[in-house]
Amino acid sequence: MADLFTIGEVAARTGVATSALRFYEERGFLRSERTSGNQRRYERSVIRIVSVIKAGQAMGMELAEIQRALSTLPDGRAPTKRDWSRMSTAWRRDLDRRISEMELLRDELDSCIGCGCLSLQSCGMFNAGDRAAQFGAGPRYLLGDKPAKAE
Protein backbone atom coordinates (compact mmCIF):
# COMPACT_ATOMS: atom_id res chain seq x y z
CA MET A 1 0.00 0.00 0.00
CA ALA A 2 2.83 2.37 -0.88
CA ASP A 3 1.98 5.95 -1.76
CA LEU A 4 -1.50 5.69 -0.26
CA PHE A 5 -3.08 8.40 1.85
CA THR A 6 -5.32 8.16 4.90
CA ILE A 7 -8.67 9.93 4.80
CA GLY A 8 -7.25 12.58 7.13
CA GLU A 9 -4.29 13.19 4.82
CA VAL A 10 -6.58 13.57 1.81
CA ALA A 11 -8.82 15.91 3.80
CA ALA A 12 -5.85 18.04 4.82
CA ARG A 13 -4.43 18.12 1.28
CA THR A 14 -7.74 18.99 -0.43
CA GLY A 15 -9.43 21.12 2.21
CA VAL A 16 -12.46 18.82 2.14
CA ALA A 17 -13.94 17.39 5.32
CA THR A 18 -13.56 13.67 5.95
CA SER A 19 -17.36 13.39 5.98
CA ALA A 20 -17.43 14.84 2.44
CA LEU A 21 -14.81 12.33 1.31
CA ARG A 22 -16.91 9.48 2.71
CA PHE A 23 -19.96 10.98 0.95
CA TYR A 24 -18.07 11.14 -2.37
CA GLU A 25 -16.95 7.56 -1.92
CA GLU A 26 -20.48 6.36 -1.14
CA ARG A 27 -21.71 8.09 -4.31
CA GLY A 28 -18.99 6.52 -6.47
CA PHE A 29 -16.81 9.59 -7.09
CA LEU A 30 -13.85 8.06 -5.23
CA ARG A 31 -12.48 4.63 -4.46
CA SER A 32 -10.41 3.54 -1.52
CA GLU A 33 -8.58 0.44 -0.48
CA ARG A 34 -8.98 -0.96 3.03
CA THR A 35 -6.24 -1.95 5.43
CA SER A 36 -6.44 -5.10 7.51
CA GLY A 37 -7.92 -2.85 10.21
CA ASN A 38 -10.60 -1.66 7.74
CA GLN A 39 -9.17 1.86 7.44
CA ARG A 40 -9.52 3.72 4.16
CA ARG A 41 -6.47 4.37 2.02
CA TYR A 42 -6.64 6.52 -1.10
CA GLU A 43 -4.37 6.65 -4.11
CA ARG A 44 -2.70 9.97 -4.90
CA SER A 45 -5.02 10.41 -7.91
CA VAL A 46 -7.95 11.00 -5.52
CA ILE A 47 -6.50 14.43 -4.74
CA ARG A 48 -6.94 15.46 -8.37
CA ILE A 49 -10.46 14.00 -8.54
CA VAL A 50 -11.48 15.92 -5.41
CA SER A 51 -9.97 19.05 -6.96
CA VAL A 52 -12.14 18.58 -10.06
CA ILE A 53 -15.21 18.11 -7.84
CA LYS A 54 -14.41 21.32 -5.95
CA ALA A 55 -13.75 23.25 -9.17
CA GLY A 56 -17.02 22.04 -10.66
CA GLN A 57 -18.92 22.99 -7.52
CA ALA A 58 -17.26 26.42 -7.46
CA MET A 59 -18.59 26.95 -11.00
CA GLY A 60 -22.06 26.02 -9.77
CA MET A 61 -22.20 22.60 -11.38
CA GLU A 62 -24.45 20.02 -9.79
CA LEU A 63 -22.82 16.89 -8.40
CA ALA A 64 -24.68 14.78 -10.96
CA GLU A 65 -23.07 16.80 -13.79
CA ILE A 66 -19.64 16.44 -12.22
CA GLN A 67 -20.16 12.72 -11.75
CA ARG A 68 -21.20 12.31 -15.41
CA ALA A 69 -18.01 14.06 -16.50
CA LEU A 70 -15.84 11.94 -14.22
CA SER A 71 -17.57 8.76 -15.37
CA THR A 72 -16.11 9.32 -18.85
CA LEU A 73 -12.63 8.62 -17.50
CA PRO A 74 -11.35 5.10 -18.14
CA ASP A 75 -11.32 2.99 -14.95
CA GLY A 76 -12.02 6.07 -12.84
CA ARG A 77 -8.45 7.35 -13.28
CA ALA A 78 -7.45 10.86 -12.31
CA PRO A 79 -8.25 13.52 -14.91
CA THR A 80 -5.40 14.71 -17.08
CA LYS A 81 -4.99 18.23 -18.44
CA ARG A 82 -6.67 17.06 -21.65
CA ASP A 83 -9.57 15.54 -19.68
CA TRP A 84 -10.00 18.77 -17.71
CA SER A 85 -10.01 20.79 -20.94
CA ARG A 86 -12.75 18.55 -22.36
CA MET A 87 -14.83 18.74 -19.17
CA SER A 88 -14.48 22.49 -18.78
CA THR A 89 -15.35 23.07 -22.45
CA ALA A 90 -18.53 21.08 -21.97
CA TRP A 91 -19.40 23.17 -18.90
CA ARG A 92 -18.51 26.51 -20.52
CA ARG A 93 -21.88 27.08 -22.24
CA ASP A 94 -23.78 26.64 -19.00
CA LEU A 95 -21.29 28.79 -17.14
CA ASP A 96 -21.62 31.57 -19.74
CA ARG A 97 -25.41 31.45 -19.36
CA ARG A 98 -25.09 31.72 -15.58
CA ILE A 99 -22.69 34.65 -15.88
CA SER A 100 -25.16 36.48 -18.15
CA GLU A 101 -27.96 35.87 -15.66
CA MET A 102 -25.80 37.11 -12.78
CA GLU A 103 -24.80 40.26 -14.71
CA LEU A 104 -28.44 40.97 -15.49
CA LEU A 105 -29.36 40.40 -11.86
CA ARG A 106 -26.58 42.74 -10.73
CA ASP A 107 -27.61 45.46 -13.19
CA GLU A 108 -31.34 45.24 -12.44
CA LEU A 109 -31.23 44.42 -8.75
CA ASP A 110 -31.95 47.91 -7.48
CA SER A 111 -34.89 48.61 -9.77
CA CYS A 112 -36.80 45.38 -10.07
CA ILE A 113 -36.66 41.86 -8.73
CA GLY A 114 -37.50 40.46 -12.13
CA CYS A 115 -41.27 40.40 -11.87
CA GLY A 116 -43.64 37.76 -11.44
CA CYS A 117 -43.75 39.27 -7.93
CA LEU A 118 -46.48 41.78 -7.11
CA SER A 119 -45.13 42.57 -3.65
CA LEU A 120 -43.24 45.73 -4.65
CA GLN A 121 -45.22 48.87 -5.46
CA SER A 122 -43.06 49.64 -8.48
CA CYS A 123 -43.75 46.24 -10.00
CA GLY A 124 -47.20 47.44 -11.00
CA MET A 125 -45.50 49.68 -13.55
CA PHE A 126 -43.71 46.79 -15.22
CA ASN A 127 -46.00 43.89 -14.47
CA ALA A 128 -49.53 45.21 -14.18
CA GLY A 129 -52.00 42.35 -13.93
CA ASP A 130 -49.10 39.92 -13.56
CA ARG A 131 -48.45 39.92 -17.32
CA ALA A 132 -45.04 38.32 -16.74
CA ALA A 133 -46.80 35.07 -15.84
CA GLN A 134 -47.41 34.44 -19.53
CA PHE A 135 -43.68 33.79 -19.92
CA GLY A 136 -43.59 31.08 -17.23
CA ALA A 137 -42.45 30.68 -13.66
CA GLY A 138 -39.71 32.60 -11.91
CA PRO A 139 -38.22 36.08 -12.24
CA ARG A 140 -39.10 36.42 -15.92
CA TYR A 141 -37.46 39.75 -16.65
CA LEU A 142 -34.21 38.69 -15.00
CA LEU A 143 -34.30 35.55 -17.13
CA GLY A 144 -34.35 37.72 -20.26
CA ASP A 145 -38.03 38.21 -21.05
CA LYS A 146 -38.94 41.81 -21.88
CA PRO A 147 -41.75 43.63 -20.08
CA ALA A 148 -44.76 44.55 -22.20
CA LYS A 149 -45.46 48.26 -22.58
CA ALA A 150 -47.91 49.63 -20.03
CA GLU A 151 -51.45 49.55 -21.28
Give the domain CATH number at 59. Answer: 1.10.1660.10
Decide which of 16 and 131 is more confident. Answer: 16
Average pLDDT, integer, range 90-110:
79
Give yes or no: residues 14 and 66 share one domain: yes
Give yes or no: residues 55 and 85 share one domain: yes
Domain annotation covers residue 103 = no
Q: Is the confidence at residue 150, as pLDDT, over 50?
A: no
Domain annotation covers residue 106 = no
Q: Looking at residue 19, what is its pLDDT?
A: 96
**Sequence-separated (6 or more) residues with CB below 8 Å from residue 12:** none
Residue range of the domain that includes 31? 4-96
Give yes or no: residues 24 and 69 share one domain: yes
Give yes or no: residues 71 and 117 share one domain: no
Give yes or no: residues 92 and 127 share one domain: no
Q: Looking at residue 59, what is its pLDDT?
A: 83
Give yes or no: residues 29 and 89 share one domain: yes
Give yes or no: residues 9 and 78 share one domain: yes
Domain annotation covers residue 151 = no
Give yes or no: residues 71 and 137 share one domain: no
Domain annotation covers residue 92 = yes
Give yes or no: residues 54 and 91 share one domain: yes
Give yes or no: residues 57 and 129 share one domain: no
Q: Is the confidence at residue 9, as pLDDT, over 90?
A: yes
**Domain count across the chain:** 2
Beta bridge partners of 33: 41
Express each pLDDT in 13-34 by its tens digit.
999 999 999 999 999 899 899 9
Domain annotation covers residue 11 = yes
Query: pTM for this one?
Result: 0.63
Give yes or no: residues 8 and 61 share one domain: yes
